[in-house]
Amino acid sequence: MKDDKSPTIEDERNEVSIGREHLVVLGAGASRAAFPNGDRNGRVLPLMVDFVDVLGLRSLLKSWGVDPDRNFEEIFTDIFESADTARIETLQGRVEEYFGSLEIGDEPTLYYHLLLSLRKKDVIATFNWDPLLLQAYRRCSRPDVGLPHLLFLHGNVGSGYCPRDHIGGNAGATCSVCADLFGRVPLLYPIKQKNYAKNEFIAVEWKTFNQCLAHTFMLTIFGYSGPRTDQEALAAMGEAWGDAHSRELEQTCFITLQSEDEIKVNFEGFLHSHHYEIDKNFYNSWIARHPRRTGEAWWNRNMEIKYLPDKDASFCELWDWLEPFREPERAFENDT
């Protein structure tokens, strides 16, 4: 007789009951984890600590009499506040050139696994400028896959926007209404005045993000450290999340190399009691161990005391693996 506290993987696939979003927030550490050896051509995905050297800006900054070992966002803020248009445009151009040159390889990467481990109801919000998540999304896009929605909170070199018709799309493509090329979204913001409402595209992304954050069942923060240079972003996120003590059923997950003490300091407003967990590796996370059923698996384990088996994270034969999940999802999507 089967123990009803030990469901099978098939049982997990067939249970589609959590309609609220799983929101995943990506920082630069996620792109570095997805491409530890760089992009197709070996170009490194920069973190803020090595941003100047990865983009080859050290000699340029020295020639301007700027200390290249300072935080790059602080450097840009000082130049922005000095109203030195030529230097502002030079830095913006170098950043756009580097990130625009990045290309995804032919083999599936962590970003494929992340996208296919979430559902149509879910959302990935990224602070990253690189286009690799968007490139992975295009390659995973097949009829009836049910991919999560993407939001670009600081803009992205792969995305564009038509301000006339209020439509977003791929950079270099044309608006489906007016046929004009999508305009570029600014990537660099001075840290003392990251006015997200100033740009219409960014404002819409943040509005959607905050609505999702207020409603989400599970929040995963992957490779985003909550740096002090992002206090405006953290404040906006905290306001949408609300009082952590009122989120006693939600789970906050971190995929990070930060210590627990660092997380408690940087994300204090998102932690309710013991309802959080920390993984150093994506493949140990709830998303990878219980793909496309993360919310259901968490609820069963913690509220119903049903210990569902963990998913092997190898993700071999992605499309064959995906189809058994999609069958029960279709009925759920048609009913909601």
- pLDDT digit string, tens, across residues 282-297: 999 989 888 888 878 7
Residue 105: exposure state from Cβ atoms within 10 A (0-12, 13-18, ≥19)? middle
Residue 22: pLDDT band with limits 50, 70, 90: very high
pLDDT digits 0-9 by tens, 83-120: 889 999 999 999 999 999 999 998 889 999 999 999 99
Q: What is the reported pLDDT for 144?
A: 83
The rounded distance, in Å, linking the Cα atoms of 205 and 212 is: 11
* pLDDT value at 310 more than 60: no
Q: Give the mean pLDDT of 69-74.
A: 88
Average pLDDT for the chain: 84
CB neighbour list of residue 182: distance below 8 Å, 6 or more residues apart: 159, 160, 161, 162, 168, 169, 170, 171, 172, 173, 174, 175
Backbone region of residue 296 per phi and psi (left: phi > 0; alpha: psi in -120 to 50; beta: other values)? alpha
Coil vs helix vs strand at 272: coil
Residue pair 39/102 in contact (Cβ under 8 Å)? The answer is yes
Going by pLDDT thresholds of 50, 70 and 90, the confidence category of residue 265 is confident
The residue-averaged pLDDT of 221-235 equals 80
Identify the pLDDT of residue 196: 64
Question: Nearest Cα to 252, choosing from 311, 208, 298, 307?
Answer: 298
**What's the pLDDT tens digit per position in 169-216?**
888 889 989 988 888 887 766 655 556 667 788 888 999 999 998 888
| pLDDT reading at 41 higher than 90 | yes
Closest CA to 308 of 3, 9, 2, 1: 9
**Taking a C-beta distance cutoff of 8 angstroms, is the pair 48, 227 a contact?**
yes
Residue type, 22: H
Q: Sorting pLDDT into bands at 50, 70 and 90, what band is 331?
A: confident
Q: How far apart are alpha carbons 113 and 3 in whole angstroms?
A: 31
User: What is the model's pLDDT at position 220?
Assistant: 94
Where are the alpha helices (H) located in the chain, listed in sequence order? 9-14, 28-34, 51-54, 58-63, 72-81, 85-100, 110-116, 132-140, 200-215, 231-241, 260-266, 286-289, 294-302, 318-335
All residues at 6 or more sequence positions from 216 whose CB lies less than 8 Å from its CB, including other chains = 20, 21, 22, 23, 123, 250
Closest CA to 151 of 85, 220, 94, 202: 202
pLDDT at 191: 58
**Contact criterion met (CB below 8 Å) for 148 and 115:** yes
- What pLDDT, on the 0 to 100 scale, is given for residue 13? 67
Of the listed ranges 10-14, 19-23, 258-262, 267-271, the one predicted with least confidence: 10-14
Q: In what order do the strands lie in the sheet with 123-126?
A: 149-152, 123-126, 22-26, 218-222, 251-255, 276-279
Q: In 3-state terms, what secondary structure has residue 293?
A: coil
- Phi, psi (rounded to 5 degrees) for 211: -65, -40
Closest Cα partner for 263 from 304, 226, 318, 313?
226
Residue type at 261 in one-letter notation:
D
pLDDT at 3 over 60: no
**Whole-number pLDDT of residue 235:** 79
262-269 mean pLDDT: 84
CA angle 94, 107, 142 (to 5 degrees): 95
DSSP reduced 3-state for 120: coil
Please state the rounded mean pLDDT for residues 135-149: 90
Q: What average pLDDT does range 50-72 have in this prediction?
A: 95
Report the pLDDT value the prediction gives residue 314, as an integer from 0 to 100. 46
Average pLDDT over every residue of 240-267 = 82
Given a contact cutoff of 8 angstroms between Cβ atoms, the answer to whether 214 and 203 are in contact is no
Residue 326 has pLDDT above 70, yes or no: yes
